[in-house]
Amino acid sequence: MFMHNKRLMYTVRVSETNPALATLMLEQFGGPQGELAAAMRYFTQALAEEDPGRRDMLFDIATEELSHLEVIGSIVAMLNRGVKGQMAEAAMNEAELYLAANQGGESHTTSILFGGAPALVNSAGVPWTAAYIDSIGDPTCDLRSNIAAESRAKIVYERLINVTDDPGVKEALGFLMTREVAHQKSFEKALYSITPNFPSGKLPGRPDFADKYYNLSQGPGDQQGPWNSGEQWERVDEPEDQMAVDGGDGEATVQLSAAEEAALLAMKSRLASTVTDDPITGADLGAGPGAGTTTAPDGSGARRN
């Protein structure tokens, strides 16, 4: 069950209203690296988790992310609180009100469409979507995804901290940013508590391909590093050795039933191109200046337009 405590996880003290800053903060409310995405990612993972320790951790962190959602949403609400009242009460003349709402980014949309409430959109007004959650139900995959998500959330908070000089906002964002660092550490420990944890799943990789590095982009800028050279790698530079690496002919084939084959041959024959004809087309008939070389309408040969 969920319960709600009226005290925030971190005190929100905003010095002055600022609708443009509010729209930037929406990135962490309804954006892909935001708190709702984080909460839903860990909550759904927790529901299906079999390991009691990981299940407990995922519920703890999912609930903390919901608490972060409340903090960042409160920051948005406080930053919009000035224009919200002015808009609702038409407290200024039209031009002043227009300027107050339209301070940059999506601030006018937030003010007019959402009445200054934090909406589940990102800073560009794109609606939140469950497609932000990429869980796959394998803990080694999902923990790696969670680690990456926490590192991205940390960076977005860092950028948001860098665009505001409001000390209260900076401080609350600094708390949220730091908690993402802590979550990354927990997820890393949980990942490495599973041994082995690489590769994911149960099927082993095929040994003849697991250590190959295919140098498929060749030319100036070719570089060597520990990711493609050295003792653990077998570099494949020769283009001929990069094709049909199984030793086969590199063709795609399938066994067809007699009925399937007959239908395909009929389709092939019906749609076959006649390469000996040079038909007059609509482009030839209508050609004017700029059309380039086309066939003369009487089929007499090339026409330059």
**Contact footprint for Mn ion (CB under 5 A):** 35, 38, 65, 68, 150, 180, 183
Greatest C-alpha distance within the chain: 86
Given the complex with Mn ion, which of 101 and 190 has the nearer CB atom?
190
Q: What is the spatial distance between Cα 250 and Cα 268, in angstroms, rounded to a whole number?
A: 23
Rounded Cα distance between 221 and 219, Å, is: 6
When the beta carbons of 65 and 166 are compared against Mn ion, the nearer one is 65
- Tokens 């934090």, residue located: 118
What is the C-alpha to C-alpha distance for residues 102 and 110, in angstroms, rounded to an integer?
10
Q: How far is the CB of 189 from Mn ion (least distance, A)?
A: 14
CA atoms in the 13 A half-sphere facing the CB of 152: 16
Question: Per the structure block, which two tokens stand in for 165?
Answer: 């000089």
With beta carbons less than 8 A apart as the criterion, state whether 24 and 105 touch: yes
User: What's the closest the beta carbon of residue 239 comes to Mn ion, in angstroms?
Assistant: 45
Nearer CB in complex with Mn ion: 87/176: 176
The two tokens of residue 93 are 């003349």
Q: Which single residue is written with the structure tokens 């069950």?
A: 1
Indicate the residue among 54 and 183 with the shorter CB distance to Mn ion. Answer: 183
Minimum CB separation of residue 176 from Mn ion in Å reads 6
Cis peptide leading into 19, omega within 30 of 0?
no
Two tokens, residue 178:
């730091």
Whole-number minimum distance, CB 20 to Mn ion, in Å?
23
Cβ atoms of residues 35 and 1 within 8 Å: no
CB-wise, 68 or 108, nearer to Mn ion?
Answer: 68
Radius of gyration of the chain (CA): 30
Beta carbon nearer to Mn ion, 2 or 227: 2
Rank residues 181 and 210 by Cβ distance to Mn ion and give the closer one: 181
